[in-house]
Structure 1
């Protein structure tokens, strides 16, 4: 076969077509204009669609061949002309769909709506990936109006069994159903995703033992000469509780005294507060690093993007087992809460928008809860003793306070 050709893709098995010895190979579909099968020497087999964005023709990946059938890929391409990307002149009030519209028909319009500025670019990418990987292959041919909660629940279980992106997939499908309600494809208030958890409430992360933190810090010192950028980034993650993306993309102009003011983050604009050790690391780097970014990329103009390989070496050197980089953020939060810092303050340090997110990180030790319960009972006792002078009332108050303290401690011990 030639390097690029046009055939009916239905006449071949995309999973068995020979891969190119190097680079990539494109096979265009003669039946669906703009659809191509892209084969790469690395083994990747993906569907690609050509589309016009801002007057320029670009290529966009639809998803893996193994996950998206050819029929679904053709449907996805056929739906693209209905609403060009970033076309803000199309009236959203116009009837776009028939009453029997299927999920593959509505999804491009829903995603295009978010691309006009409603969602952050990173959110758009994640939702598009979730749609093409988990929603369209399994539910794409279903009529929007026919999707039932039981079916969504089974789909969620299937996705959760093979992917960690189930939360994003469920959020995307839920948003699509709300979009369908707005366009008269479903009755108001009948979202089939309602009641399914998008976010697991569980004990995430851990309070690391002191010995573990010491081994980590020692390993960073020993590996610093070999990979100074990665070691300094890990130090700042541990000292600030910031997200990996926030530290790796940090710019010098954003650092103002004891804080780093981020114009954008996962939850929007926020401040990273820098303690003395963190400022010392940054001051040392400022003397050696030139350019816009605190952690510049090695071979391109921009910030560091990944830390995985370096973290694997650090973890092995410090004997950290399966500890994740994100667990450093959990540890930061747990240390704060365990030492009596108010949850809302911890949430502000972490950049959370609501207290529920902070509760996912706060694992209070039983000893801390018991101590807090004792303090509460003591204050209750002093308060009530000032109002009632008789001995019987004081004894009753003490017994009540003791029960409160005991119950709280028992609840902490059991969960």
Structure 2
């Protein structure tokens, strides 16, 4: 079950099952031959069984208390802080943390307890031991390659192409300057530039540097949901060199108003730095004509329901923030029916799940947004019930 618990407080997700839902039926093309396969994500990527920190601290949600218990192992030598005083950024972070701490503690406890009553988050792990996938992502390397390619004349070529041509051929695919569509009812496994990728059914994608997003604009589609996970600048990214970061101001160049439908829900993953949160709320969203409607929190736990980091750690927190907003174009203000048709978004919801061992992999939000829409529209039963789903009306492509 991908959604383990749904309540007024939020959701508990089985992130691995959530991914597998899209790939239970796949078509593979190799040497112009078609075969049917079933794909699944390596579950050992979601076997985070112990919390971790630089001082090896563990944190658990206490079944009897609403607060957090922390057990810190003694270490022979602790790294001393050069400066005893916190800088302004650290002070702001502490203020924000204290503001939301009680919500994180109380709501996480409630959701984890509900999941445990259903047999989840009980510390169980798979007995099969396999090596984790190599951390270097081929897709990320392709995105870096896109930055170096010369610009093309967009007026002289089609803006969209089919993923698979006759007999499964993919040699025609231009990954970097056209929108690629997979119109198949099944996920499709294809070889692109020497690597095999599995593309979900009924999807379209553009692999490009964000400054070359015009083919997506020319594609002509408007989207009801836009999710962004920007490569925010921070010290951890600079040290790890896993990917290139982007100055916050550059995000304003994304043509969100040209891609968003009326009342489009725009969701942005944000680091826990208050400066990034302020930028999204006070600069980025207003620049696009987006009204902030809610903040959600992704709480990362182990397979036994512990926070992956101590809640009050000064270095890393066991949660990340999502800022949700509604696109309000000037034309929408004159349409009285536009606001009445939108689905309300509740504030301070929690998404609880075991995170992936792969760096920066976020849980899918599509099923959560879909369930929220169904519940608010009266097509889904009471909160917590996922069995009384009424027929779903057609929805726009996301």
Q: Output the TM-score relative to the length of structure 2.
A: 0.23
Rg bigger for which structure?
A: 1
Give the structure with the higher percent strand: 2
- Under a length normalisation based on structure 1, what TM-score does the superposition of the two structures give? 0.22
Greater helix content: 1
